[in-house]
C-alpha cells in the first residue's frame, strides 16, 4: 500500500475579518482627529460646493485684502480675512491626504481583486484537473464533484442595476468617442487652404 505525500503549505492563521475591522476602527477614529471633518448630506453635495470651491487662491487673497482695508466690505456674518486664510491653508494641507487615501483605496481594491483572482485560478485549475481525472475509471468517484463544480461555476455574481447601467453608459461613451475620432480623421482639408485671395 503506497501513500501519497503532499507538500502542503501551512494554512495562514490570520483572522482577516478581525484585522480588517481594526483598520476600519482606526480610520473611523480619524473622523475626530481631522479638523472640520464633514460628511456630505446628499449625493450631490460636493458638486454643489464646487463652483465657489474652484475660485483661484489669488482671487480669495484679493478679497481678503479688500475686506481688511475697506470698512464697508466687512459683514457682520462674514468670515475674517484670517479665518479665510486658515480655510485655504486647511484645504491645501488636507487635499494631499485625500489623494493618498484614494490611492490607498485603489490599492486595497486591487489587492482584494488579486486575492480573488488567485483563489479563482486555484479553483479553476482544480476543476480542470478533477474533470480530467473523473474520465478515468479509477477516479469515477470524482464525477459528483465535477457536477457540483460545474453548477456552481455557472453562478457568476450578477452586476447590480447601477453597475450594469454604468457599464452601459461607459460603453456608449467609448463608442461615441470612437465615432468622433474616426469622423475627425476622415474630415477633408479645408478647400480655402490652397486658394489664393484676389
90 within domain boundaries: yes
What is the per-residue pLDDT across 147-192, written as a single tens digit (0 to 9) for each? 999 999 887 667 777 777 878 888 888 888 888 887 777 765 555 5
3 within domain boundaries: no
Of 14, 5, 20, nearest to 111 by C-alpha is 20
- Rounded to whole angstroms, the Cα distance separating 148 from 27 reads 41
pLDDT value at residue 1: 40
138 within domain boundaries: yes
Q: What is this structure's pTM?
A: 0.61
- Rounded to whole angstroms, the Cα distance separating 123 from 91 reads 47
Number of domains in the chain: 1
Position 16 pLDDT exceeds 70: yes
- Rounded to whole angstroms, the Cα distance separating 101 from 98 reads 5
* Residue 177 belongs to domain spanning: 52-183
7 within domain boundaries: no
Q: Residue 53 in 3-state DSSP? A: helix
Position 113 pLDDT exceeds 80: yes
What is the per-residue pLDDT across 121-150, written as a single tens digit (0 to 9) for each? 999 999 999 999 999 999 999 999 999 999
Neighbours of 81 (CB within 10 A): 18
194 within domain boundaries: no
4 within domain boundaries: no
44 within domain boundaries: no
188 within domain boundaries: no
Amino acid at each position: 500500500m503506497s501513500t501519497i505525500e503532499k507538500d502542503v503549505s501551512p494554512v495562514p492563521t490570520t483572522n482577516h475579518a478581525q484585522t480588517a475591522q481594526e483598520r476600519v476602527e482606526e480610520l473611523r477614529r480619524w473622523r475626530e482627529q481631522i479638523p472640520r471633518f464633514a460628511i456630505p448630506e446628499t449625493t450631490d453635495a460636493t458638486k454643489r460646493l464646487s463652483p465657489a470651491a474652484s475660485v483661484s487662491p489669488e482671487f480669495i487673497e484679493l478679497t481678503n485684502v479688500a475686506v481688511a482695508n475697506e470698512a464697508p466690505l466687512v459683514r457682520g456674518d462674514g468670515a475674517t480675512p484670517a479665518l479665510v486664510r486658515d480655510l485655504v491653508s486647511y484645504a491645501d494641507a488636507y487635499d494631499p491626504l485625500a489623494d493618498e487615501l484614494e490611492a490607498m483605496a485603489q490599492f486595497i481594491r486591487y489587492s482584494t481583486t488579486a486575492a480573488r483572482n488567485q483563489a479563482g485560478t486555484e479553483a479553476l485549475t482544480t476543476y480542470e484537473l478533477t474533470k480530467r481525472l473523473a474520465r478515468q475509471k479509477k477516479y469515477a468517484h470524482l464525477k459528483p464533484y465535477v457536477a457540483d463544480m460545474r453548477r456552481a461555476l455557472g453562478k457568476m455574481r450578477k452586476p447590480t442595476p447601477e453597475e450594469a447601467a454604468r457599464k452601459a453608459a461607459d460603453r456608449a461613451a467609448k463608442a461615441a468617442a470612437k465615432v468622433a475620432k474616426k469622423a475627425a480623421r476622415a474630415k477633408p482639408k479645408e478647400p480655402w487652404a490652397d486658394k489664393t485671395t484676389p
